[in-house]
Amino acid sequence: MANQYIDMKTDYSKKATNQEIRERFDKDTERFSNLETGQQTTIDAPLTMELCTEAAKYVNPQAKELLDIGCGAGNYTLRMLSKVAGLNCTLNDLSMPMLQKAKERVSPQTAGTVTLIQNDMRNLDLPDNHFDIILAAATLHHLRDDDDWELMFNKIYKALKPGGSFWVSDLIAHDSEFINKLFVDKYSNYLETLGGPEYRQKVWDYVNYEDTPRSLNYQLALLAKVGFSAIEVLHKNSCFAAFGGIK
């Protein structure tokens, strides 16, 4: 199984465009409205969602402002609202059908406002020191070069209030070629249990075309570089991790 998705020398010009990624997600709104089916390719998806939102609750129990980047159909925001009520929810995604589904699901669950932003996360124009909690689930892996990653982490840091927290659950790469191979093989075996060799190949095809994840070490170092004072790993299993930081 090829693992070019973890190669830092990837020719990004051959990767999927925003339009292609958006069109794929536009067609999958209903599936992504169900955690069990929408995230079945993500190992430990229910656990990492629970850990990220629980960590946010413990750090920011009086939170009022939430930003969910790459919110999809709103699963993470809904779980966050089950822990901290009445949040003003700012939902960002490339896909308008996803945003509309998220608003439909989230609005009845909060007395706060629900604001939709359809845009590439790199283009977000966010107010400084505004959000108590920022969540990013299964979305940062669409960032491409180092400039993209640093831009996004800086943007998130500046948008958080002092004491605010940022929590990530995502596909990751690994720094060692040998460890990469280990976890690519393990993930391939996991995918085969879901749908056999054809399903495994289907998932790897879109991962290799759409995604450019970075290692957990890379992202933890970037959190420190942009200024996060407390950085924590909540969970790691194979090619997936949950982690974050407090401003």
pLDDT of residue 41: 84
Count of residues for the chain?
A: 247
Higher pLDDT, 108 or 15: 108
CA distances from 62 to 29, 104, 128 (A): 31, 25, 19
- Asked if 56 contacts 163 with a C-beta cutoff of 8 angstroms, the reply is no
% of the chain beyond a pLDDT of 90: 78
| Residues contacting residue 42 through CB under 8 Å, at least 6 positions apart | 48, 138, 169, 171, 240
> How does residue 117 score in pLDDT terms, banded at 50, 70 and 90?
very high
> How does residue 33 score in pLDDT terms, banded at 50, 70 and 90?
low
Residue 12 pLDDT exceeds 80: no
> How does residue 179 score in pLDDT terms, banded at 50, 70 and 90?
very high
> How does residue 11 score in pLDDT terms, banded at 50, 70 and 90?
low
pLDDT in tens, 219-231: 999 999 999 999 9
Higher pLDDT, 41 or 107: 107
Q: What CA dihedral angle connects 111, 115, 116 and 121, to 10 degrees?
A: -120
Residue 18 pLDDT exceeds 90: no
pLDDT in tens, 58-98: 999 999 999 999 999 999 999 999 999 999 999 999 999 99
pLDDT of residue 101: 93
Rounded average pLDDT over 167-177: 95
> How does residue 16 score in pLDDT terms, banded at 50, 70 and 90?
low
In angstroms, the CA 79 to CA 61 distance is 14
Q: Are strands 114-118 and 88-93 parallel, antiparallel or unpaired?
A: parallel
Name all domains of the chain by residue range, CATH numbers in brackets. Answer: 4-246 (3.40.50.150)
pLDDT of residue 10: 60
pLDDT of residue 40: 76
pLDDT in tens, 195-220: 999 999 998 988 888 889 999 999 99
- Asked if 212 contacts 15 with a C-beta cutoff of 8 angstroms, the reply is yes
Q: Which of 32-41, 116-125, 155-164 has the lowest mean pLDDT?
A: 32-41
CA of residue 188 relative to chain centroid, distance: 21
